[in-house]
Structure 1
Amino acid sequence: MNKYLLKAIGQVAVPLALGLSCAAPVFADSGVAYVSNQEAGVSVIDLATMTARDNIDVGVTGPRGIGITADGAMLVTANKGGANIALIDTKTGHVIRYVPIGKNPEFVRVQGHYAYVTYEPSAKSGPPSKNGAKDDDGAVPGHIAIVDLKQGKVVHDIVGKPETEGLEFSKDGKKLFITNESDNSLTVHDAKSGKLLKSIPLGKYGNRPRGIKLSPDGKALVTTLELSDKMLVLNDKFDVVKEVATAKTPYGVAFDRSGSRIFVASNKDKLLQVFDAQTYEKVKDIPIGDRCWHFSFTPDDKQILVACGKSNELVVIDAASLEVTKHLGEMGMPWGIVTYPKAMGSIDRP
């Protein structure tokens, strides 16, 4: 295995072991952000200074999905080039283990000592067609691998719908919500076994559901329809109760911690849109960069970091004024972003 370097600034020692019982790293009060770069490993952002501190070379190409354990000790990346996930010790920056997943691993969520990873055996690179599907065999289902991080292996494999994409958990963590792009559906699964509990067709509302997030109180579920320029709001019975117009090609979506605002990243219009979570009226459009899919609040909720892949930058936004305050350039096609301590975002949440 190659050597991977990460400076252990402000961290306590963590035993290099696959188990998750090791002590949590200690950071400055503001914490740290991890950004997956499809062409440059994982950038480590010091949130106290809002500067890039280091880079972790994951050893394979194309890291996209990214997640972190609740104690901050282990980072997980989904690597297209290796058809695997990398389990990374955040203290040393060493890859502890690669876990084979399958072709095109993409989205990662970590809950407890399990990682949930979408992968698409039939998917090809490139944009989708106008009807929402990529140029592939739409009959081939996507999958969600459930990985036991203590054992370092896949323990369940959920056979999903074509092009599984976004993942979210119920408030009690017992259910898993999945968006299925080509199938234009939302499916509900038992989070432990992967068993399908319910399928909600969304095709009559639009095409290509992608981002998905549960409100902090657990009463509303929102999902973006990438090719229909809208966000759907579902209640706790999975009924669609509201259609909200967005800018072009919405993807990443998140509530703020209070549940009072919803944030949506619009790819083609290069905006982070802010909506009132009660009235669904638009509060503001914030100009950002090119192909900005995912974003995260900082752990103190004071700033928002947006990963903009095609402009190779992170855009920093003041969460109160909703104004851009900084651009962190020279990234390597950033895809996803998570923080430690965990914060609200389009991928993760506390």
Structure 2
Amino acid sequence: MSHLRRVAGLMMTALLGQSLALNLYAHTGVGRFSSAVKGVPTRVYVPNGLDSTVSVIDPQTFKVLRTFKVDREPQHVVASHDLKTLYVASDKGRQSLTPIDPRTGKVGKPIPTPDPYNLYFTPDGQYAVVVAENQARLDFLAVGSMKRVFSIAVPCKGINHMDFSPNGKRVLAACEFSGDLLKIDLSARKVTGKLHIGGMPQDVRIAPDGKVYYVADMMANGVYLIDGSGSVPKKVGFIATGKGAHGLYPSRNAKELYISNRDEGSVSVLNFATRKLIAKWRIPGGGSPDMGSVSANGKQLWLSGRRSNVVYVFDTRSGKLLKSVKVGNGPHGLTFFPQPGRYSLGHTGNYR
């Protein structure tokens, strides 16, 4: 009897261990929508940087429904933490965040904001984090008023993308022009460490188990694996993916990572569990896949063609290019909305 109890205990321990395994993307699986987006029409929003416009695509028909003007050089379209607003970040000219009501499509009055290259939100929803690339700082805005509360200066050039630690208290940020990675303590409001990796680091995305960050590097032509658990980030590996590695997007089941290789017109697929590449999808005739989002049902990967003036739609099951949708000049950080998740951490598809 005692033997049976011991076996049962071991089985229960194993089951509990499996159920307690960390998956930071557990709430972003297919169908796991927040009630905040109920009834919101599904659209793809594409900022055309060189035209200072945003194109709105119906992903069912692949048709551009409309295109509207925004302030100069829109970089990314970002969902707010509460999923009720989309912001177009324009970092040239007047420099602003232009709000869009995704339920009605109504475009609001631009909010003057210095140098908003990118936009994130703290996990607690208290602050919007403006990545002021040319100002070498992060500006923290009160979400209610979108007014600056404080800033964190950064000792690098070209800060652009970042992701949060599992507990949401720290950030790993990439600086593309100086080739640095920064560890930032949000509670202490300071940079705690810097790692120089050289090259041109771009998108940053934490693994589902929270053990490493993946950092795409356009000049190294692959992704670095970074241990961000300490006050100073540490390089623990590198995986060559393709020329111009740029954007990083977890699959809906959090088993794979899609990596856009902008300078060779391909997407590499990495298995999170093994940290090995398992596929490469190529654009016939080449292309320039940049930033984007995974569709809500996980069956498609939408990426802007930065130098091709189109949006690419890949079938995530076959890897085939389903469609190239003509948009404006210099499309960049497009977002597919709505997506599953309790809240948005910003960028073009970082949800929890």
- Shorter-chain TM-score: which interval? 0.7 to 0.9
Higher relative contact order (CA 8 A, sep 6+): 2
Q: Shift of residue 116 of structure 1? A: 1.9
Alpha-carbon spacing, 1:51–1:216, altered in 2? closer, same or farther (3 Å): farther
Show the counterpart of 1:147. Answer: 141
CA distance in 2, matches of 1:346, 1:264: 16
Q: Shift of residue 64 of structure 1? A: 0.5
Alpha-carbon spacing, 1:273–1:248, altered in 2? closer, same or farther (3 Å): same
CA distance in 1, matches of 2:214, 2:89: 24
Match of 2:287 among 270, 285, 290: 290
CA distance in 2, matches of 1:33, 1:83: 23
CA distance in 2, matches of 1:233, 1:177: 12
Deviations 1:271-314, CA, capped at 9 Å, x for gaps? 11112223333222222363322121011111110111211111
Show the counterpart of 1:253. Answer: 248
Instruction: Tell whether the 8 Å contact from 1:211 to 1:346 is kept in structure 2 after alignment.
Output: no
Within 5 Å, give how 1:213-224 maps onto structure 2.
Answer: 213-224=205-216
RMSD: 2.6
Show the counterpart of 1:87. Answer: 99
Aligned residues: 302
Q: Shift of residue 92 of structure 1? A: 4.4
Show the counterpart of 2:179. Answer: 184
Q: Percent identity?
A: 22
Alpha-carbon spacing, 1:343–1:185, altered in 2? closer, same or farther (3 Å): farther
Match of 1:318 among 315, 318, 324: 315
CA distance in 1, matches of 2:53, 2:308: 17
Say which is worse superposed, 218-227 or 49-58, in terms of deviation: 49-58
CA distance in 1, matches of 2:332, 2:133: 17
Instruction: Please list every run of 5 or more consecutive structure 1 residues that lacks an aligned counterpart in the other structure.
Output: 1-21, 122-140
Query: Alignment partner of 1:224: what SS?
Result: strand
Show the counterpart of 1:50. Answer: 62
Matched, 1:227 2:219: yes
Instruction: Tell whether the 8 Å contact from 1:211 to 1:253 is kept in structure 2 after alignment.
Output: yes
Instruction: Give the number of the structure whose residues are more often helix, by fraction.
Output: 2
CA distance in 2, matches of 1:228, 1:23: 40
One-letter amino acid of the counterpart of residue 307, structure 1? S
Query: When the two structures are superposed, what TM-score results if normalisation uses the length of structure 2?
Result: 0.77
Query: When the two structures are superposed, what TM-score results if normalisation uses the length of structure 1?
Result: 0.78
Alpha-carbon spacing, 1:193–1:300, altered in 2? closer, same or farther (3 Å): farther
Instruction: Please list every run of 5 or more consecutive structure 2 residues that lacks an aligned counterpart in the other structure.
Output: 1-34
Instruction: Tell whether the 8 Å contact from 1:297 to 1:304 is kept in structure 2 after alignment.
Output: yes
Within 5 Å, give how 1:116-265 maps onto structure 2.
Answer: 116-121=129-134, 142-160=136-154, 161-191=156-186, 194-203=189-198, 207-237=199-229, 238-265=233-260
CA distance in 2, matches of 1:193, 1:150: 22
